Amino acid sequence: MFSAAARYGDPSVALGVATDVIRLQLAHRSVRRFGPRDVTDDELTALIAAAQSAATSSNLQPWSVVAVRDPDRRARLSALAGGQEFIAQAPLFLVWIADLGRARRLADHAGTPLAATDYLESTLIGFVDTALAAQNAVLAAESLGLGTVFVGAIRNHPERVAAELGLPRHAVATFGLAIGAPDPSEPAGVKPRLPLDAVLHRERYDVDAADAHHATYDERLGAYQSRYGLSGTWTERVLARLSGPESMAGRHRLREALEGLGLPSR
């Protein structure tokens, strides 16, 4: 399970180099069923320290995180995120915040104008840096024997999530991360990814060479899905998920929500 062959669903694939970190990364899977043990405060502190060790654009550090343990609040966040039960079941739910409010407060304190935070580039920096930090936390969690799953549906109702968490102006919840000890009875494995040559281009982007791998990947993912009683191909999933505003669970109005929360993203 901790191999490139499992990651690509192809027994012929092997890496010429590997480390314990790479093996841990290859073994990553989303965990949606958690055991009874808690995530300790020492573990939480270590996860955030790992997150803060990620790269950050111009050392802006434009993110924050809200650790949610309260069962009632987790239940409310679960409802706002499409009723995903594992949010309520996980002992710890981290909500990652693109936080341009910190810079705004620095400017207010210094009596200095701060106009660049109103632009799309700054919003993108906030989202990108938040994602880099959160992925560091995921790897750290898995090194501690914990399981995780990202929750993009936390963006379904940005204003209500902001109110639930008491977010200041100029801050928005980017995604959630449920964390806990994996329940070994959960029927899930390492989900195959697109073949490496579908995503790796050398020197210049080669559309034909990359797209030639899609049919093969549909077969491999279909085989994985069937092992767990699921159906559908990757192509079908992509086209359904991106078919139009109706497939976005309310997130088609994200620009409007960002502006209302103080991130106009011009």
Q: 254 is in which domain, residue-wise? A: 31-186+249-260
- Residue whose token pair is 């055991």: 35
The answer on pLDDT for 17 being more than 60 is yes
Residues 79-103 have a mean pLDDT of: 98
**Does a structural domain hold residue 255?**
yes
The answer on pLDDT for 12 being more than 90 is yes
Which residues have C-beta within 8 Å of that of residue 235, sequence separation ≥ 6?
214, 218
Beta bridge partners of 63: 98
Residues 128-148 have a mean pLDDT of: 98
**Does a structural domain hold residue 114?**
yes
**Does a structural domain hold residue 76?**
yes
Q: Cite the DSSP H helix spans in the chain.
A: 4-8, 20-26, 41-52, 71-80, 85-89, 101-110, 120-143, 158-165, 196-199, 207-211, 214-227, 234-241, 254-260
What pLDDT was estimated at residue 3? 85
At residue 50 the predicted structure's pLDDT band, cuts being 50, 70 and 90, is: very high
Contact 147, 180 (CB under 8 A): yes
Average pLDDT, the chain: 96
The answer on pLDDT for 2 being more than 70 is no
Q: How many domains does the chain have?
A: 1
What pLDDT was estimated at residue 160? 98
We report the CATH number of the domain holding residue 40 as 3.40.109.10
**Does a structural domain hold residue 196?**
no
**Does a structural domain hold residue 45?**
yes
How far is 39 from 258, CA to CA, in rounded Å? 32
At residue 79 the predicted structure's pLDDT band, cuts being 50, 70 and 90, is: very high
Residues 14-39 have a mean pLDDT of: 95
Give the pairing type, strands 63-68 and 171-180: unpaired
Share of the chain above pLDDT 70, in %: 99
What pLDDT was estimated at residue 237? 94
**Does a structural domain hold residue 228?**
no
